[in-house]
Chain A
Amino acid sequence: MAWRSGERIGAVPSLGFLCLITCAQVGEAIWLTIPSSGTKCISEEIQNNIIVLADYYIVEDENAHLHHFCPGRNLRFLPVTSPYGNNLHHNENVMHGQFALTTTEAGNYVACFWTNGQGQEGVGLTVGVDWKIGVAAKDWDSIAKKEKIEGVELELRKLESAVEAVRNNLIYLKDREANMREVSETTNARVVWFSIMSLGVCIVVSIFQLWYLRIYFQKKKLI
């Protein structure tokens, strides 16, 4: 995993009211506390061709009001690095942001937040992150409008796509397990061969020793 190092920060104040509105969303978001001088990263291993949606915001708590008055305080970065280190999304000095992307390669995706260390030391920042991938990221309202379904049928359609996701996950897990079993079996075979070879190396080395010492003593006319 590669965490990106910090960069220069501007000082543009952002709208505070958005954080009031977006705090405590409908149950899916998790909150993290970022220390006053440090980075907090969350990561996930994502397969190829999956939609990732994320919404992040500063949570209005007892520490947040301090941030409005210290201009250097409400700063956050969000570099999302792909497995090869490319920076996919980057946002500076905001209190609320979102991004959407479709993954082009399978691997570990990292999202990091950090604050500028100005202002009060020891006062952490609480960030809410709403991170959805795959099936959970589907925009059901547009699908409902397009196909003109609603109510129970929409719910059942959601359940159907969830079942489809379960099946795809199972197939994926099965492939991964097959891969791992091959690695395990080659490792097992290698342990056998390397152990026998170490015995062979031992014998070869001792024969070489004896042969060399014999030649040496014969040269010295001791034998």
Chain B
Amino acid sequence: MEARHRSKNLLVSFFLLWSFLVTPISSLSVTVNDVECVYEYVLYEGDTVSGNYVVVDHDIFWASDHPGIDFTVTSPAGNSVHSQKGTSGDKFEFKAPRAGMYKFCFHNPYSTPETVSFYIHIGHIPNDHDLAKDEHLDPINVKIAELREALESVTAEQKYLKARDTRHRHTNESTRKRVIYYTLAEYLLLACASSLQVFYIRRLFSKSIAYNRV
């Protein structure tokens, strides 16, 4: 497994990374129409898979808030490792029971498409199982890996905050637009209603309809 990864790294020289350095991916956004799945490969059993996702609200003027997105994580064996229903965003963390390709799926129960911004990180702390028999585990490497994981959790929290901030901004923008347009519509409606009233009363007193019926 290691030799195959090493040869791949040499060939894809644009992204030379050390074999035990798992750098984070950015928080990407995906538009979920019905079901959208993202796959991520977990190298070692026992790795901590952590991440978060936030439903970034679309700027819908007329409709009310979306009820939420369902989120499930499926292990390579096919069973669901983590699931969350009907939320507008959450953090998750679990220990991978085995290595392999994990599937992270978002399901949108309604027809309006939603954009989900997600971040997945797989953290690995080197331990004795990864090494060959005659290699020693340098404790400083373990400590550096733990430091990196702690820093990673700070970065993950920041990405979550940033996504939540974006969602909040969309809500604010929507509120601002609604205040302006709904108020203008209200004034227009009021003016229309009163002029309709005036016309109706005029009509009641008009001679052509009925000869002074009122």
Q: Taking beta carbons and an 8 Å cutoff, which residues of A are in contact with B?
A: 1, 21-22, 24-33, 40-45, 53, 55, 98, 126, 130-134, 136, 139-141, 152, 155-156, 158-159, 162-163, 165-166, 169-170, 172-173, 176-177, 180, 183-184, 186-187, 190-191, 194, 197-198, 201-202, 205-206, 208-209, 212-213, 216-217, 220, 222
Interface of A is mostly: helix
Known contacts: A55-B14, A163-B151. The answer to whether A25 contacts B28 by CB under 8 A is no
A191 — which chain B residues lie within 8 A by C-beta? 179
Selected contact of B194 from candidates A22, A141, A209, A222, CB within 8 Å: A209
Q: Which residues of B contact A172 (CB under 8 A)?
A: 162
Q: A30-B38, A209-B198 are in contact. Are A132 and B154 (CB under 8 A)?
A: no
Whether the Cβ atoms of A183 and B22 lie closer than 8 Å is no
Interface residues of B (CB under 8 A from A): 5, 7-9, 11-12, 14-17, 19, 21-31, 37-43, 101, 115, 117, 120, 122, 124, 140-141, 144, 147-148, 151, 154-155, 158, 161-162, 165-166, 168-169, 172-173, 175-176, 179-180, 183, 186-187, 190-191, 194, 197-198, 201-202, 205
**Shortest distance from the beta carbon of B94 to any chain A beta carbon, whole Å:** 16
Tell me, rounded to whole Å, the shortest Cβ–Cβ distance linking B211 to chain A.
14
* Residue of A whose beta carbon sits closest to that of B140: A152
Shortest distance in angstroms between A193's beta carbon and chain B's nearest beta carbon? Answer: 9
Contact between chains at B26 and A44 (CB < 8 Å): yes
Contact A25 B175 (CB under 8 A): no
Q: Knowing A27-B42, A28-B24 touch, does A183 contact B172 (C-beta < 8 A)?
A: yes
B148 & A159 in contact (Cβ 8 Å cutoff): yes
Are the C-beta atoms of A198 and B183 separated by less than 8 Å?
A: yes
- List the B side residues contacting A209 at CB < 8 Å: 194, 197-198
Report chain A residues within 8 Å CB of B141: 152
Residue of B nearest to A41 (CB): B31
The distance in angstroms between the C-alpha atoms of A163 and B24, with both chains bound, is 14
Residues of B within 8 A of A183 (CB): 169, 172-173, 176
- On chain A, the residues within 8 Å of B172 by CB distance are 180, 183-184, 187
| Residues of chain A contacted by B26 (CB below 8 angstroms) | 44, 131-134, 136
* Neighbour of B8 across the interface among A21, A42, A133, A184, CB < 8 A: A21
Contact of B151 among A24, A140, A159, A205 (CB under 8 A): A159
- Could you pull out 18 A-B pairs where Cβ atoms are within 8 angstroms? A21-B12, A26-B5, A26-B19, A27-B43, A33-B37, A41-B30, A42-B29, A43-B28, A133-B26, A152-B144, A165-B155, A183-B172, A187-B175, A198-B186, A198-B187, A201-B190, A201-B191, A217-B205
B166's nearest neighbour on chain A, judged by CB, is A45
Report the minimum CB–CB distance from A158 to chain B (whole Å).
8
Contact B28 A190 (CB under 8 A): no
Question: Hey, which chain B residues are within 8 Å of A162, CB to CB?
Answer: 148, 151, 155
On whether the beta carbons of A28 and B155 are closer than 8 Å, the reply is: no
